[in-house]
Structure 1
């Protein structure tokens, strides 16, 4: 078992990623695709470059992820009305329903995972993590 904070935090992150991957699998989504769908859903129409930046991946990788989401009819591409050379990616109605299901599954899994902690422990963890990311 890891004996320092950074190793423990990484182990928790890996555990959560595995759990989320299992939750997304019945929807036919990989974690990268689910994350991209969440980003597009949160921001409306986005250019591929903005998706790549938000996901911290290369534009080529963002294109591949969006291609898969478009193939699954979760997003569409449309011309950017402000720049004819650019394309915007937006969530479809099917994508919105999938996004709601994904969000519910993720929340239920988080409740299960963090359910071992008391309310006070959860509040302390949120406070500590918030301090670390600020």
Structure 2
């Protein structure tokens, strides 16, 4: 009987000890004003070896035509092939207290019918927060 009480007491002690050290405050608490900012942007990945979007992905064709037009190059969108280009969404999480020039990880995902983004180069893509700010 005494051994059973000692065993239960020991189990309770181990449980309390593991709970006390098992969770960090930063994992379960959010300090007001200290939060990450989520960013999103639309971009193009170029240099794909035939694994980009197909002709049916009209927004990719239009994006390329608009980009070239802003650079002073007028192109008929019907003459653009996009097999080496993919339209993508870029997302990132900006940590609290991020400083200018600090690197962040981004995720890039195709929004067209590209087969693969491997080996491609993401063109400069402005990222915006929920408030629309860059």
Normalized against structure 1, the TM-score is what?
0.23
Q: Higher Cα Rg: structure 1 or 2? A: 2
Q: Which has the higher contact order (CA 8 A, sep 6+)?
A: 2
**Which protein is richer in strand relative to its size?**
2
**Which protein is richer in helix relative to its size?**
1
